[in-house]
Amino acid sequence: MTRERRTALLATLTGLAAALIAFDLLVWGYGESPRAMVALLLEGTWGTAYGAGQVLFKATPLLFTGVAVDLGLRAGLFNIGAEGQLAMASLLAATLGARLPPGTPALLGVPLVLSTAMAAGAAWAAVPALLRTRFGAHEVISTIMMNKIAEAFVGAAFVYGFAQAGTMRTPDVVAGARVPRLEVLFGALRGSAASFALVLAVACAIVFGWAMRRTRAGREIGLLGMNPTACRAEHVPVGRRLAQALVVSGAVAGLAAAGTVLGYKGYYEAGLGAGAGFGGIAVALLGRGSAVGLVLAALFFGTLAQGGLAINAHVPMEVMDVLQGVVIVAVALADARVRAALAGLVPKGRPA
Amino acid sequence: MSALTAIVSMTMLAQTLRMSVPYTCAALGGVWSERSGVINIALEGMLLSAGLASVVVHVATGSPWLGVAGGAAAGALLGLVHASCVRGRVDAIISGLAVNLAAAGGTRFLLRALYDSASNSPPIEGFRLSVGGGASGARLLVRTLVDPLTLLALAAVLGTAWLMYRTRFGLRVRASGEDPEAAASVGVPVERIRLGAVGLGGAICGLGGAALAFDQHQFQSGMSGGRGFIALAAVVLSGWRPGRAALACVLFAALDSLQIVLQQETRLPHDLVGALPYAATLLALVVMGRRVQKAGLGARPPAGLGKHA
């Protein structure tokens, strides 16, 4: 095991330990038994085939957005706009999916709606990309603003003709544009909403992990994240690579609609998939730039999301959102400490 | 009433002033933090947490003043947490994101834990002001002008400008933000100065959170609504200067109240009109980028922003 790997592993374990401690404290503060709640959480997630299926279902959009945010991070970009990119992708994919002729074959329908979702996510990310490369506007502020504008746009779209009459949701997507549930292949998962979108998400994680190492664009994006000045000196097209990273990131975030709209509800309503964009940040920061890491991180946060529902009758499930923040800080802090200790760069007066 | 008379009115002026308070307080928090060299995107989470804290303390003690103090304390606490993480070499944006995520979840958790509601707190009275009831524009304006939180925000603007440019502490904050290594080499305790500046900024930002909650007479889940980020854009727009940041905030507040008037008085699509402040923020970033590219008209960020001693 390389030193780099060991550092990453140690930081990740610290993050998980911090999450457990924070969970125990919050549950205890709420007046419930931490041990009983952990037991309940495990039982409601990995304890049954249905629970496990639900974890996979919750992990699916998180894996897409996690891969998306990770892609940006490699270029040194914080794409915290996955939330809005996903909302726009969901709206447009669901709308197109509902307008297709009823007999559309799945071989045509599914790729069509998925590429629509990618295009919509990419287009929504293209605005911050342009603002960043042309005007130097920091993507953290602009992507958040794009989230808010997407929210407004979706609201207006539902009022002006995108919604089924009398409802606040899009019409049902035709059968040929839906992503089938995993239960058609694995009978044990019956009833859970896990779909083949999960397979697509895992494939995305693997393909992008490979592309980052093996393609020119991927390599340059990765180098850009480490040292933009050196890249500029080496005539790497910095602006173009930054924009590409953010736009592709938006496209992948948009694909998360496969797990929510196409694999689960079969239509889009405001709030469907909400939180996946921010959850993706936690997944990316815990997954630390490896396909395996991202999948495991998505499963971890998927477990928390489903586990939150399992304990909701006793402790508010919002406790899990707090844990996202705790994990992020703990991992980053542990990582910095371990690195400093290894490099002998521990600040004065502070023991390693 | 036509849309135009609604826009050019005392009510609109009062609205703008009222809405500029949370923006201004958050922007001052950003100025303190970033002038000391600590990137701060945690303003959003600070506003939100302070809003809830002010309501909780107000409900528990019955005193609006203690409520405001509670909001400021919550803001300061989050500021210290953020600054400590950055001091521990956590990327400031990651730390800020974590604060925001934890604040969004934590406030909803506490709402359910304390008040058994997923969306809002019980109503609070806030400050009782004896300028008479009624909704006439002039009265509304007077009431806004004598509102303790408006006055506190004004004091915070003047106080920040004075502290930042006229005192030893302010000089040290600016030195830490411009060149932490040089500052450290002449004996400025950079890390401690940064903790102080981010903590103080957090407290001021916390006043904004309290103003947000007091204005609605309750806390609502997610009520900061991106204001922390808009305030950060105002900081960038101002060139990291407190007075101009406050002016930029009044501008954003004017758009906010314009948006409300347009929703009430015209038949434009509500949701899209509601996105006006966000679109304006994007535009502000573009304008700013242009200016920096052309002449760098005093719009330079602190040179040591994000650097360590």
Question: What percent of chain A has a predicted confidence (pLDDT) above 70?
Answer: 97
CB–CB contact A140 B229 (8 Å): yes
Which residues, at least 6 apart from A165, have a Cβ–Cβ distance to it below 8 Å?
A: none
Optimal mutation site among A322, A339, A346, interface B, most CBs of chain B within 10 A: A322
Chain A interface disruption, residue of B41, B278, B288, B291, most A CBs within 10 A = B278
Q: What is the pLDDT of residues A246-255, one digit of tens each?
A: 999 999 999 9
> Is it the case that residue B86 has pLDDT exceeding 80?
yes
Chain A residues closer than 8 Å to B185 by CB: none
CA distance B206 to B28: 11
Separation between Cα atoms, residue A87 and residue A143, nearest integer Å: 13
How confident is the model at residue B99, as a pLDDT? 95
What mean pLDDT is predicted for residues A212-226? 92
Does pLDDT of A348 surpass 70? no
Question: What 3-state DSSP class applies to A71?
Answer: helix
Asked whether residue A349 carries a pLDDT value surpassing 90, the answer given is: no
Q: Is the pLDDT of residue A350 over 50?
A: no
Q: Distance from first CA to last CA of chain B, Å, rounded?
A: 59
The pLDDT of residue A124 is 97
Per-residue model confidence (pLDDT) at position B297:
47
Three-state DSSP at A169 gives: strand
pLDDT at A351: 45
Cβ B229 vs Cβ B41: under 8 Å: yes
pLDDT beyond 60 at B211: yes
**What are the pLDDT digits (tens) for A172-191?**
999 988 998 988 888 888 88
| pLDDT tens digit sequence for B98-137 | 999 999 999 999 999 999 888 899 999 888 776 665 667 7
SS (H, E, C) B202-247: HHHHHHHHHHHHHHHCCCECCCCCCHHHHHHHHHHHCCCCHHHHHH
CB-CB neighbors (< 8 A) of B112 in chain A: 316, 318
ipTM of the complex: 0.90
Taking only Cα atoms into account, the Rg of chain A, rounded to an integer number of angstroms, comes to 21
Q: A43 by DSSP, 3-state: which?
A: helix
